[in-house]
Structure 1
Amino acid sequence: MHRSFTPPRQVKIGDAAAFAGTTPRAIRHYHEIGLMPEPERGADGRRRYGYDDMIRLLWIRKMADVGISLDDMRAAYDEAGSIEETLDRLDEALAAQEAVIQRQRAAARRLREAGSPLGLLSAVVTDRFRDLPPGAVRQSDLDALLVTERLFGSLGAVVQASSVIVLATHPELRAAEDRLDAAEAALDDTVDPDDPRVEELAEQRCAHMKAVEQAIEAAGLDEVEEKLYELDEAAPKEDEGQMTALEGIGKMPSDFSPARTRCMELAAERYGRSLSGDD
């Protein structure tokens, strides 16, 4: 005896989700935001979905696969917006996603070529260390570049990179840097900011900064900085909504004592005066 198969007139939410390739939770969300009307319920109080409901659910899934947002789908069904407006927004969103993917792929290439963590810095910073042997840049220098890049952008890190390169290629300057770092670290919370040692170390730090700057100029690294600045000025600017350097400094914790902070301030003041010819 031949038995014919008769499709159900209505199905439960689990069957509807399985057929459409989605989840019951997603369908409930469509109901909550008004994207799908509430279907009638059976005697057991559960939702039942008919042919028209399934057609709408399938179109929702197709639009989601294309990348159309739920809000745009709802507007399309409510006739509150044209499909052209929706497609324009979709095109902009996809272009933004494509740009993100391109940046991520470029970062992955830098990581492969430069290694981690150097390759995690901006390309313009990473490229400055291309000619240095592996391991020439200390982790502490990379940490400092990371903070500088966050506070002052990639060009700020580009300038600092010149100092890092000089320290990596001039053993005598690296040794002087290490001595000063150790002496400044000794300015702990027991040292008064007005202690004479603070003034002496600030003077030494200023002289060291001048020596590093001379080495930068002798190596022509300052010319590289100028070229990079020119390229940056010619490049289109994007507002990424980043915080200002002052805001960032106020949010970045520091374990420096008042005496060490004062030493840094004095050294910066003296170095600034020397650059302006007032010292």
Structure 2
Amino acid sequence: MITIGQLAGYVGVSIKTIRVYHDKGLLPEPDRDASGYRRYGANDAIDLIKIRTLAEAGVPLSRIRDLRSATDEEFQQALREIDDELTARIRGLRTTQGRLRELAAGHLALLPAEVGGHLEQLAHWGFTPRWVDLQRDLWILVFATHPDHAITLFHDQAETLADPALRQIFLDYDQAHDLDADDPRIDELARRITRATRERYGPGEPPELDTASEIPALIQGTVNASSPAWQRLDTLIRAQLDA
């Protein structure tokens, strides 16, 4: 029989941890002997090793407590499930580790190559660095949160900008950033954008993200926050499309 300090040293946990396990009902607390000490046996050490192993695997203490009353078959099934969860976590950590190493080497690719090429083309077409940086940040957000839909949205925008007339509308949108919100040119630009949208998509809707997602609102809010003129332009376009 050994003391709590000896048990803690043998198993590799602190005395405080053992007392927490007592309080949580994970490890039965033995009675005190004639000298006033609590003495632990081999079974206590084995139980503590099991608890420590499960806790280190990330299993919540409440689940570990429930497993104390599980049958051998239930316990083995729980271990298999925990092993699967660990495998998934390890896979995720390895992916994260790979990204960190790419970041350290300066090779982290946040966007597909075709998107990077498109962003470079924007500058050649005359878009401001502000617009290019904004587009880059927004595409990073879209590809990170909606990888299954992002490429469709990107191709739609790329096709739109390939049309010189439509590209000019986007260039005018870019330049409108510094206009006063009440400038009449904002009203005219809103009408042009509404007309071009209806001509391109007809009665249908432009491709968009999941309507349950908060990302579209976040994206538009980010755009609007950078310019009162852009904010009013967005309000006018929405009103005209809904009319």
Give TM class, smaller chain.
Answer: 0.5 to 0.7
CA contact (8 A) 1:11 1:50 kept: no
Partner secondary structure for residue 225 of structure 2: coil
Residue 207 of structure 1 and its aligned partner are, at CA, apart by 7.3
Q: Work out the CA distance in 2 between the residues paired with 1:265 and 1:246.
A: 18
- Please, which of 15, 27, 33 is the counterpart of residue 24 of structure 2? 33
- CA distance in 2 between counterparts of 1:243 and 1:171 reads 30
Which one has the bigger helix percentage?
A: 2
Distance 2:165 2:34 in 1: 87
Residue 245 (structure 1) aligns with: 213
Deviations 1:221-258 (A, max 9, x none): xxxxx9xxxxxxxxxxxxxxx99225862796652667
Question: How far is the alpha carbon of 1:34 from its aligned partner?
Answer: 0.8
Specify the SS of the correspondent of 1:97. Answer: helix
TM-score, length-scaled by structure 1: 0.54
Instruction: Show the 5 A alignment for 1:24-173.
Output: 24-41=15-32, 48-64=39-55, 70-79=61-70, 82-101=74-93, 103-104=95-96, 115-116=107-108, 119-120=109-110, 126-129=112-115, 132=117, 138-149=132-143, 153-162=146-155
Mapping of residues 244-263 of structure 1, within 5 Å:
244-245=212-213, 249=217, 254-255=224-225, 260-263=230-233
TM-score (normalised: structure 2):
0.60
Output the CA distance in 1 between the equivalents of 2:178 and 2:35. 74
Of 195-204 and 159-168, more deviation after overlay is shown by 159-168
- CA distances 1:60-119 after superposition (whole Å, capped 9, x unpaired): 334556676544543343246722431342244235325534654675687689944xx2
User: Which residue matches 1:3?
Assistant: none
Say what the alpha-carbon RMSD is for the aligned residues: 5.0
Q: Percent identity?
A: 24
Code of the aligned partner of 1:249: A
Residue 171 to residue 23, structure 1, CA distance change in 2 (3 Å): farther
- Post-superposition offset of 1:43: 8.7
Between the two proteins, the alignment pairs up a number of residues equal to 223
User: What is the DSSP-based 3-state SS (H/G/I as helix, E as strand, rest coil) of the residue aligned with 1:245?
Assistant: coil
Contact conserved, 2:30 with 2:39, CA < 8 A, in 1? yes
| AA in 2 matched with 1:83 | F
- Paired letter, 1:94: L
The answer to whether the Cα contact below 8 Å between 2:11 and 2:48 also exists between their aligned partners in 1 is yes
Return the letter of the residue paired with 1:128: E
Q: Which runs of 5+ in 1 are unaligned?
A: 1-8, 214-225, 227-241, 274-279
Q: Partner residue of 2:14?
A: 23
What is the letter of the counterpart of residue 158 of structure 1?
I
Q: Which runs of 5+ in 2 are unaligned?
A: 123-131, 201-206
